[in-house]
Amino acid sequence: MKLAAAHIFPQFHPPFSHPHHPNPPPPLLAAAITTHRRGKDLFPIKSHQSQSPNPQTAATRHDDGGDPGIPFEHVKTLAKFKSRHNYIRVIQVSRAADHPLAGSRLLLLDAPGNIHSISFLFKSLTNAYYDVFATLPPILPPGPVGILGFGAGSAAKIILELHPQTVVHGWELDPSVVAVAREYFGLEKLESKHPDRLFVHTGNALNATVKDGFAGILVDLFSKGCVIPELQDAATWEKLKRSLKRGGRMMVNVGGSCVEPEDIRKDGNSIMEDTLKAMNKVFPAGQLSVLSLDSRKDDSAVALTGEFPDADGDRKKRKHPSNIINDFDSYSEFKCQNCYIGSEKR
């Protein structure tokens, strides 16, 4: 998943602290606090991810239209190079920065600088959609979880910590991203700590398979700043569905208007809608739910396949140290407008 700047989701109240704001301010106030300085002294950050600091959305809420940023004196570039697939940057944000990402290490990919991974030194939770991904394992049947679009391993790190029985298989197209994850984001240490629970593969994530199928699949596939085009094709979702065990589910970062594509002619919200429509052809009525990760529903969203979650039953299964999602009532059934499924218009 990817992000663009920091914001606080109003429907969630995670107990995360900020050095200058122990109680996170509401979204508009947070945006004002983090973007009061503009111009050449700010390091712009974006993100195709979502959740409490969601660097993606705050930028759209300002009269001057500029992106939120961090003062350059609080940002250190640790790595910067081009690989076969990406323009890769690793930056360190000072703990002294007056910003929700203070103290974090960020993996930026693509020309717009979308955030693809967040890591904090003293905590696993990120206040981003990776934390939402970690709510999937408790509502799955027994079996491994696949992460398609592994990045630097933000989601895997949280899942391994919170769910000791879960085995994770991650797929990342770019070997350089995996190398950066091992050098700068602690992936090598994580692999050594969980040799029987974490397996990282390089290659096309859409060809991911495991023996007997996945219990769950997390899909976080972006390229050039937007959801990959294959995910707007129902055939892709048919293929992924076949790789699931009986009762398995998928959770998908479908992006939204918060995402900044490299191609300015593309629109993140339209791509999100097309992705959901393609999923809906494979997961019809009652089998596809959407969680909006911001007050504006088109900003950023996560989709969940399978029967609508049982809020009471699944809450009892979950062991999550935050209130990222107070219950699964936060999800709503996806209802496609102007969709044709077979001969029926929905």
Each residue's pLDDT expressed in tens, for the chain with a length of 346 residues? 455 433 322 232 232 222 222 333 233 222 222 222 334 466 666 554 444 334 333 222 333 333 457 888 999 999 999 999 999 999 999 999 988 899 999 999 987 778 899 999 888 899 888 999 999 999 999 999 999 999 999 999 999 999 999 999 999 999 999 999 999 999 999 999 999 999 999 999 999 999 999 999 999 999 888 899 999 999 999 999 999 999 999 999 998 866 666 667 677 788 999 999 999 999 987 899 998 876 554 467 899 999 876 654 555 455 555 444 444 556 676 666 554 433 344 4
What is this structure's pTM? 0.78
Contacts by 116-122 with C-beta closer than 8 Å and gap 24+? Answer: 116/1, 116/2, 116/48, 116/49, 116/151, 116/152, 116/177, 116/222, 117/151, 117/152, 117/153, 117/154, 117/181, 117/185, 118/3, 118/49, 118/53, 118/154, 119/152, 119/154, 119/157, 119/185, 119/186
Amino acid identity at 140: L
Contacts by 190-193 with C-beta closer than 8 Å and gap 24+? Answer: 190/153, 190/156, 190/157, 190/160
What is the C-alpha separation between 328 and 346, in angstroms, rounded? Answer: 25
- State whether residue 70 is helix, strand or coil: strand
Scan for tokens 């998908």, then name that residue.
252
Pick the closest to residue 166 from 200, 196, 191 (CA basis): 196
What is the C-alpha separation between 327 and 126, in angstroms, rounded? Answer: 19
What is the C-alpha separation between 104 and 3, in angstroms, rounded? Answer: 14
